[in-house]
Structure 1
Amino acid sequence: MGNIGNKVMAVAAACSLFAACSAGDAAEPPYVMENIRRYEPGCSSGDDRVCASVQLGYPVFSDAESSRSLNSNVSDLLLDGFGSVDSLCNAFFGQWAGYRETVFSDTLGHAHVDMSHDQEEDEYFPEVWYYSRTADVCGHGRGFVSLMFRTATNSTVYQYGRKYASLSLHDGRLLAPEDVFSDTSALRRVISSEFMRSNGISEGISLAEQGVMLSDGFLPLTDDFAVCDTAVVFHYDMSEIAPNLLPDDDIRVPVGKIEPFLIPLNEN
């Protein structure tokens, strides 16, 4: 994705992801972690305290059967709607510049360009924005890899958040729950049971009375999931499901409870 440095080879350990892994699945697919850091145009100090910055980190797979498609989909997920790193950076730095000018205009009555760099560092200078988005390998096995995407920022435009994705190592495509799990109805019951247990929701009382909005009493399946080393994570927008409770958006189900529903490698 351009302007890349800090490469870290991560050819990792044995398959601890599932109880049953084939011999060919024993080692994690080799990948290189790429890290990109960009600073706002015209800010030459390279100091996060005075220069708005964008940082991206993601794995690049080399030995997957369809690494080009896999890497392309990882890139698309990382950029989250932007066509390129340049497009993301241009949008972010442009929004930062507009915000900064508004702050100076509102507080001092004149534009940022009227001030020297030394003056920019005084109390009138707004907290410098940063945007960081990383994709980390959460787990692998049975012909697919799961990633966790994390966004951290202090901007007024973008938000902190997490997202998960599972992708095929055979053709690189983004996988739906139906591609990974055999009995999706039973899976919904397991996820819902874990959600209710972890949030103290009683089965004998109406879910609506407890602030949970589920039409049939079970959480829907979501493409926002990852099969990690010790747990399978399903990510939801709890502001829609339990707006008054607002529990954690991640529901973590121990791998042992999900194991019976995992489709064998030769069926994936």
Structure 2
Amino acid sequence: MTVTSTDKELPLVQHLIELRNRLLRIVVIVLVIFAGLFYFANDIYSMTAAPLQKFLPESTGMIATDVTSPFLAPFKLTLFVAVLLSAPFILHQIWAFIAPGLYKHEKQLAVPLLASSVVLFYGGMAFAYFVVFPLIFGFFTSVGPEDVAVMTDISSYLDFVLKLFFAFGVAFEIPIATILMIHAGIITPDGIAQKRPYVVVGCFVLGMILTPPDIISQTLLAVPMWLLFEVGVFFGRLVYRRDRRREEAED
């Protein structure tokens, strides 16, 4: 039987069509959530600004130095929140696209890892909001000259907190990255545990890069990163032992 070029290209075309459909679904769900939240955009921004607002003197507040800032800052924040709330749906679409090409044991590992990655990212952002923000804002507003009124621009504040949200969210994914490296055979649990001193130094270096130039926020990011690395090594050992047992059973 002669195989035509159309027959060869059809599977690729089907994959591209499925990818397009899933991307469209992601865009639609983000827009739907954004439309539902947009009415509360100013309230969402006020909630995000609360950790700083409580340290500002009563006679001062946040300001807008650009004409469009009062609209664009809440708009950007609401869009960011819509993407965050859509994360489980987005990961589900990604999972549905790649799952058919995975082995059974890979699917068994991928599902909890995907769910854990969402929870850990949310956990990192919550840690930043409830623990890091009060500490660093309290520090920043207390060390300035007494004759300088603290009035932060709303756009600058948004850029600052989004950077920290993203930094802590990504940092809390360290256990997932550690488990994946062990599962992929890139390194063994004992091998990565021996590199612990380098990991600790690397955590503080990343803390310096990803956070503002103050020792408080750097330490508040570096220490959780190191502890999460230890969590990743612990669960990585369990995954490593399971993989070895499966390989022995197959042999």
Structure with more relative contact order (C-alpha pairs < 8 Å, separation 6 or more): 2
- Structure in which a larger fraction of residues adopt strand: 1
- Structure in which a larger fraction of residues adopt helix: 2
